[in-house]
Structure 1
Amino acid sequence: MSSRRSASARLAATGALTLAFGLALSGCSGGLAGNGDDGGSEDGPIKIGMLAPFSGQEAAFGDYMKFGAQLAIDEVNGDGGIDGRDLELVTEDDGCDPTAAVAAANKLVTAGVKGSVGGYCSGATLPTIPVFTDAQVPMVIPAANSNQLVGQGAFMINGTGAQQAEAAVEYIQSVGAARVAVIDDNTDYSVDLADSVEEQAEGFEIAKRESVNPDEKDFSANVNSVLGADPDFIVWSGYYQAGGLLVNQLRGAGYDGPILVGDGSVDAQLAAIAGDESIKNVVGTFTKTPDMLEGGDAWIADYEEVSGGAAPGPYSIQTYEAVKTMAEAFTEAGGTEFEAVTTALDELEGFPLLTGDLTFADDGSREGGGFVIVEPTGDGGAFVLKDDLQG
């Protein structure tokens, strides 16, 4: 087994974040000094916290993640729990907003959670790391994947922005593109991914880098700027709401070449917003979804039983895997003590998950990343596997 950093080293890595966000934390009601149920009795359930967007533009992902987490918890509890203790899911809405996320994280700490398995928007997830670490709550992040999260003391189920960019660059090279325009939406996640694509570009030219305001509806100025650079390939690194409008407007302005979107736009809503004609020749980078996996149909059926019939969406399976990973760490640690659980997460090697065996690198990122190329050709514009990038 390869050597791993100690849990104390991971604590040290969060020092700068803790200092940077200290004032924000002290100003939140119901904070670390609050008198809530600590969930720490030896015979009660072990509470697992999950921050996700249940309101705002990304609200659909909250339920995708919640039901994925609940399915994993039901399975763990059905197998006897953690040394006879059930897991219990506690959710809070972060709205993909950094300030709301810090307040919500403090609520989970006050509620006595012993692990965090949430995090969708990177910009909202980053400031919660010192909240959880200061309270000695280990974090396994299922979705958020900005490079800024790497090495901060949390563990990431999703591949990093750099790993996603590597997959994007490999695909761009495979189709022989020469002039690539890269467009971001000014959010932390989107800028990080766009920067990574630029940094890794090889064999093609970055003809244009453009940023849009995701709250706008009319991107005509951005579209004209991008198309003025005469690209033969466009990368969109933002979320699907603005992405759908942008794709539609690029097509309306006469661009019919390939468009690659990042994982924040890999959702059937992209097609719904862009329209059936505009979505043609669009692909995305994403980690594997249930329909791409052996045994995926059975997992989908189990998920739909928990969700009341709703189909899984992006990050349902990653949140499921975050819970399974945390449960394994509790089991290996023999309890929920922070240093022991963090050490157990550090030392996981080849832990079998549906999306592939899991080993964490020393910085908490997932070794390998696991990104593939998907396209919105499934039912209702759902993204399905196009290229597994295995040659």
Structure 2
Amino acid sequence: MTNLSRRGRSRLRILSLGAVAALALSACSGGVTGGGGDEGTEEGPIRLGMLAPFSGSEAAFGPYMKNGAQMAIDEINEAGGVLGRDLELVTEDDACDATSATAAANKLITSGIVASVGGYCSGATLPTLPIFSGAGVPMVIPAANSNQLVDADENGVFLINGTGDQQAQAALKWAEKQGVKRLALVDDNTDYSADLADAVAEQADGTGIEVVLEESVTAGESDYSANVNSILSADPDMVYWTGYYQEGGLIAAQLASAGYDGELLVADGTVDAKFSEIAGAAAQGVEGTFTQTPDMLEGADDWISKYTELYGEGPGPYSTQAYDAVRVVAEGIKQADSTDSEAVIKAIQDIDGLELFSGPLKFTEDGTLSEGGFAIVEVGPDGAFVLKDDLQS
């Protein structure tokens, strides 16, 4: 599959999903005005909505995001809230599915949210952009990071995870550092995965790294022997898997069984301990591109201890980003001195220096981070990913 055909199909996805979302929005009573909640008054809680996967293939990440967001809300409320009002989190399950996400987004609008702090799977988040934007609901997205979210050019959308382009830069920087000359790109044909593979292929031009294969697999299968044979025939020094951990674990195991002895780098959708459970012994030595998790961050020990005490387990991927998404929205409302959507959007865009886990916050004009913050992680002895190289040197 060529880079051009994949990019063309991505553009069609944006148009078709936008049309579906627009129809869903027009069919939702109260959706255009944001429902009949308290957001238009100066009484009652300020509701923040979160779409995350609480069921389906990516269900492991939903609780991490919900817990991180709730932790921030509790801290803000204990300190007096925002504009003298408490914050309240309203969650809905998007199941990492576009259709489910569209219905769930409309439910959040009807519930009277004033901002969205969710979004894990890019393919599920993309069709919700026109729904939230049409209802005047700012979005601070903690995890989803496909370039298509930026290309959609909807008002009031902010990403506090690095973009696909920024992750591609990190992958190539690491590949160059490792002396890679022949790179194979393997995606699962989802928006996020194909978009990231495209970004790497485009940025590799002129780096001295040859992209010898661009391979798409069918998600949900158990036998990837045909794809593995294609990879082996291309003879790469490194394979970059840009999809999610279920298929990633199987491909890692099947590559190892077939005798592949090159490097395997995985993208952030695969960086989870469940990858090691699926891949088994083949997980050892696997590296990934990822924004740093709490255990990798200097000075995060107290936050980790508090999270663990509250929820009975340590924080997982995207718990810190969800925590920070709430803080960004709260700061925007505070600076706007209002819950008016346009005022809040402008205030969020103007934030300069708010300390997040990823560093001082400053958005670009298109609502992305000025610094992507991706690092290289690797599978540790217990199967969890740990920091290997922060890519700062």
- For the superposition of Structure 1 and Structure 2, which TM-score range results when normalised by the shorter chain? over 0.9
Equivalent-residue separation in structure 2 for 1:34 and 1:161 (angstroms) = 30
SS of residue matched to 2:227: helix
| CA deviation map 1:60-117 (0-9, x unaligned) | 1110100000001011111111021110000000011111111100000000001100
Contact 2:33 2:136 in 1 (8 A): no
Contact 1:32 1:106 in 2 (8 A): no
> Corresponding residue for 2:283?
279
> Corresponding residue for 2:317?
314
1:152, distance to aligned residue in structure 2 (A):
2.8
Residue correspondence of structure 1 range 286-305 to structure 2 within 5 A: 286-305=290-309
> Corresponding residue for 2:8?
none
Long gaps (5+) in structure 1: 1-13
> Corresponding residue for 1:374?
377
> Corresponding residue for 2:87?
87
Contact 1:289 1:314 in 2 (8 A): yes
TM-score by length of 2: 0.92
Q: Which letter does structure 1 place at the counterpart of 2:184?
A: A
> Corresponding residue for 1:184?
187
Contact 2:33 2:135 in 1 (8 A): no
Equivalent-residue separation in structure 1 for 2:211 and 2:140 (angstroms) = 34
> Corresponding residue for 1:5?
none
> Corresponding residue for 1:109?
109
1:204, distance to aligned residue in structure 2 (A):
1.1
1:310, distance to aligned residue in structure 2 (A):
2.0
Q: Which letter does structure 1 place at the counterpart of 2:352?
A: E
Contact 1:46 1:114 in 2 (8 A): yes
> Corresponding residue for 2:10?
none
> Which residue, out of 309, 321, 331, partners 1:328?
331
Equivalent-residue separation in structure 2 for 1:365 and 1:244 (angstroms) = 30
Residue correspondence of structure 1 range 121-270 to structure 2 within 5 A: 121-150=121-150, 151-153=153-155, 154-201=157-204, 202-270=207-275
Contact 2:21 2:102 in 1 (8 A): no
SS of residue matched to 1:168: helix
CA spacing shift, 1:107–1:32, aligned 2, 3 Å: farther
Contact 1:375 1:384 in 2 (8 A): yes
> Corresponding residue for 1:53?
53
CA spacing shift, 1:193–1:155, aligned 2, 3 Å: same
| CA deviation map 1:156-213 (0-9, x unaligned) | 0000000000000000000001111100000000001000111111211111111001
RMSD (Å), alpha carbons? 1.9
Q: Which letter does structure 2 place at the counterpart of 1:226?
A: I
Equivalent-residue separation in structure 2 for 1:224 and 1:21 (angstroms) = 39
Q: Which letter does structure 2 place at the counterpart of 1:124?
A: A
1:256, distance to aligned residue in structure 2 (A):
2.1
CA spacing shift, 1:83–1:274, aligned 2, 3 Å: same
| CA deviation map 1:100-135 (0-9, x unaligned) | 111100000000001100000001101111111111
SS of residue matched to 1:25: helix
Identity percentage over the alignment? 60
Equivalent-residue separation in structure 1 for 2:39 and 2:125 (angstroms) = 23
| CA deviation map 1:253-307 (0-9, x unaligned) | 00122111000001011111101x2012210011111112122111111112332
SS of residue matched to 1:26: helix
1:249, distance to aligned residue in structure 2 (A):
0.4
TM-score by length of 1: 0.92
Q: How many residues align?
A: 375
Q: Which letter does structure 2 place at the counterpart of 1:322?
A: A
| CA deviation map 1:319-368 (0-9, x unaligned) | 10101111110100102100110000110112111221110000011111
SS of residue matched to 2:68: helix
Contact 1:292 1:384 in 2 (8 A): yes
Equivalent-residue separation in structure 1 for 2:336 and 2:136 (angstroms) = 14
> Corresponding residue for 2:391?
389
Confirm whether residue 69 of structure 1 aligns to residue 69 of structure 2: yes
Equivalent-residue separation in structure 1 for 2:39 and 2:15 (angstroms) = 26
Equivalent-residue separation in structure 2 for 1:90 and 1:355 (angstroms) = 25
Confirm whether residue 341 of structure 1 aligns to residue 344 of structure 2: yes
SS of residue matched to 1:357: strand
